[in-house]
A and B are shown apart, each in its own frame.
Chain A
C-alpha cells in the first residue's frame, strides 16, 4: 500500500499545520474532507495491513510451490522453490512489504514464462491468486 501509513499521517499533520485555510474557506473545506477520508483509510490500513500481507505472501509461496512443478527452466524453478520454502521472519509491515515485493517481482518473472510457454492452467492459477489479492487490498470507504 503506497504511500505508507506513516507517510500519510506525517504529511497530513504537516498539511494541517501549514494551515489549510490559507487559500480560503472552500479550499479548506475540501482539503479537510479529503484529509478525513485519507486518515480514515490509514486507520483501517493500520488494522489490516499485516493480515493482508501475511495472507498474500502465503498465497504466493503456495502458488510458487505449484509453479515449480510445471516450469522447465531450471533457474526459475530453483527461485520458485526457494521462495516457496521461505517464511516471513516477523510481522513488521516493513519486513512483510520487503518480502512481498520480492515475491511479486518473482511472480511477474513467472507470469512472463507461463505466458510465453502457453501454460494455460498455470496462468489460470496465477490469476486466481491475483484476483484474491486484489480483492483483499480493495479499500472500502466510509466508517
Chain B
C-alpha cells in the first residue's frame, strides 16, 4: 500500500501540476468487483480533499471500458445530476501498473445493501422517489447533447433489444460451466417475443440499482456510481433492471426496497417524458434477469478458474444465479 501511495502521489503531482501535493490514508474499499476501488486524501496548497481511485483489476467480473465510465461521470456531473466529479483518467499502465481513473469522494454517505431487509429506514419513500426521478432524468437525455452518442450499443430503435440479447447470450456461451435450461429458455422467449421498438435511444447506465448509489443522513441521494456498463440502448433496460426483484430486499412489490412498483414507474415516466408500456417493460424485466444470470455465470467462472477470488464472485455464482433462475422460472412458467 505504501508503494501504491507513493506512485499515486508522484502521478498526481505531475498530472495536477501541484509539486507539494501529499497523498495519505490510501485504503481499499470492499466491493466493486469490476474495478479495484480505493479512497485517499490529497492535500495541496492548504486544501485537503477526499478522492477515489478506480483501477483496472487483473481480472474483472465483467469486461468493462474505463474510458466509457469516466466519460459518463463527466457528462452527467456536468448536467448537475448526483454524480461525483471526475478528476483524471489515465490509460497508460505505467504509473500504477494498470489503467485507472480518479474522481471526488462523496463523503459521509451510505450505500444500501440487497442483503438488508430495510436499507433506507424512514427515508425509503423519499429515496425511492429521487432514485426513480434521477433514472428518468438520465433517460431523458439525448446522448448527442452530452457527447456520448458514440458509446457502444445499437442505435436503431428496432434492433436495440436483440442487440442486447445477443450481447449477453455471448457472455453465457463463453462462460457457462454447467447447462442452464432456464436461462436458455428465457433467451429463446426473448427472441420469440420481441418488445416494441424503443421510444428513443438513450444513455443506459447499465447497473442502476440498490447498492450503486450513495445517500446521506437526510435521505438525499448524493451520488450515482458504477457507470462501467454504460452504453446506448432502450431506456426501459435501466428501468427493468432497477425494479428487478434481486434488488428489492425480499419485497418485490417495492422495487429497490423503496416505493411501490406503480409509483416507481409513474415517477420514472414523469421524469423521463417516456411511457413504460406494460408489455415492453415486462420484456425488459425478463431481459434483466437473463442479464443478471449472465453476469453471475461469468462471476462463477472467474472465481472457479482462480482469476478473481474475491468472495463476491462466489456469492454471485451461488446466491444471485439461483435467485434469477427462480425469478425466470416463476415468470416464464406463468405464461407458458
Contact = CB atoms under 8 A, between A and B. Distances in A.
User: A and B: real partners?
Assistant: yes
B162 interface: no
B178 A97 contact: yes
Contact of B30 (A27, A37, A131, A139): A27
Contacts, number: 132
A94 interface: no
A127 B332 contact: yes
A101 B178 contact: yes
B319 A1 contact: no
B181 interface: yes
Contact of A127 (B26, B311, B336): B336
Contacts of A11: 303, 306, 309, 314
Given A12-B311, A131-B329, A134-B326, A108 B181 contact: yes
A27 B4 CA distance: 16
Main secondary structure of the interface of A (DSSP, over half): helix
Interface in B301-336: 301, 303-304, 306, 309-312, 314-315, 317-319, 321-323, 325-326, 328-330, 332-333, 336
Interface string A10-53: 01101100000011111101110011011001000100000000
**Closest 3 pairs between A and B when the two form their complex, measured CB to CB:** A30-B30, A24-B27, A23-B28
Interface of A: 1-4, 7-8, 11-12, 14-15, 22-27, 29-31, 34-35, 37-38, 41, 45, 97, 101, 104-105, 107-108, 111-112, 115, 120, 123-124, 126-128, 130-131, 133-135, 137-139, 141
Given A4-B304, A137-B325, 9 more contacts: A2-B178, A8-B314, A14-B309, A23-B28, A41-B315, A97-B178, A104-B178, A111-B181, A139-B318
